[in-house]
Amino acid sequence: MSTLKVPVAARDHVQGDSNAPVILVEYGDYECPHCRHACPIVKQVQKHFGKQLGFVFRNFPLKEIHPNAESAAETAEFAAGQNRFWEMHDAIYENQDALGPPLLLELAERMELSGQALASALKEGEYAKRVKEDFIGGIRSGVNGTPTFFINGKRHDGPFELADLVGAIQAHL
């Protein structure tokens, strides 16, 4: 049984309480259609459990098959630098069909973040180290594709439709 090797910490992007009874960690790729499919499902799961659930998203870009996944991940980290991580995370998934450098700049500007600063951060790889750390932590934890979920540190194997996740989380309450 694979388990989360990197505990949830201050560096993580957390929605809800990081001390909630159940913590759901997703390793995701912004260009992965399965992660996109999971995105609204996770929102429903959060709604279902309310304060009993904290949700963490970590980067796991599969660069060889998804050429825009890395820059998308770095863009979300750039937004995080201005406390806008979740807004960017959602916006990228919602616009996944158009994912590419122009979309990322457009999303930044739509959120009134500097497109120029983003372009420069991407060019310099300012957030590449952070994304890589997430990736390596994921590998060490047994992430085996995207999305991979961990519920209270245990890898969730199998389907991740609403009923599957709700059932698996309920088992921890």
Partner 1 sequence: MAQLLEAGTRAPDFTLHVTPDQKLSLTELLGRPVILAFYPADWSPVCGDQMALYNEVLPEFQKHRAELLGISVDGAWCHAAFAQTRHLHFPLLADFEPKGEVAKKYGAFRAGDGYCERALFVIDGKGKIAWSYCSPVSVNPGADGILQALEDLSKS
Helix (H, G, I), strand (E, B) or coil at 156: strand
Minimum CB distance to partner 1, residue 148 (Å): 8
Closest listed residue to residue 160, CA positions, set 168, 152, 4: 168
Q: State the Cα–Cα distance between residues 69 and 89, nearest whole angstrom.
A: 12
| Chain position carrying tokens 């420069």 | 120
- Within 23-52, the residues that bind partner 1 by CB under 8 A are 29, 32-34
65 near partner 1 (CB under 8 A): yes
Q: Considering the complex, what minimum distance in angstroms separates the CB of residue 39 from partner 1?
A: 14
Question: Angle formed by the axes of helices 128-140 and 69-80, to 10°?
Answer: 110
The least distance separating partner 1 from the CB of residue 129, rounded to whole angstroms, comes to 14
- Which CB atom, from 14 or from 141, has the smaller least distance to partner 1? 141
Alpha helices in the chain (DSSP H): 33-49, 69-80, 85-94, 101-110, 115-124, 128-140, 162-170
The mark string for 129-158 relative to partner 1 (x by CB under 8 A, - otherwise) is ------xx--xxxxxxxx----------x-
Q: Judged by CB under 8 A, which stretch of 17-25, 56-64, 79-87, 100-108 contacts partner 1? A: 56-64
* Shortest CB 8 distance to partner 1, Å: 18
Please, are residues 148 and 138 in contact by the beta-carbon 8 Å criterion? yes
CA distances (Å), 90 to each of 7, 35, 49, 76, 155, in order?
24, 11, 20, 9, 23
Residues 88-117 vs partner 1: string with x where CB under 8 A?
Answer: ------------------------------
From the CB of 75, what's the least distance to partner 1, in Å?
Answer: 19
Contact 72, 3 (CB under 8 A): no
Give me the residues that bind partner 1 (CB under 8 A), please: 2, 5, 29, 32-34, 60, 62-66, 135-136, 139-146, 157
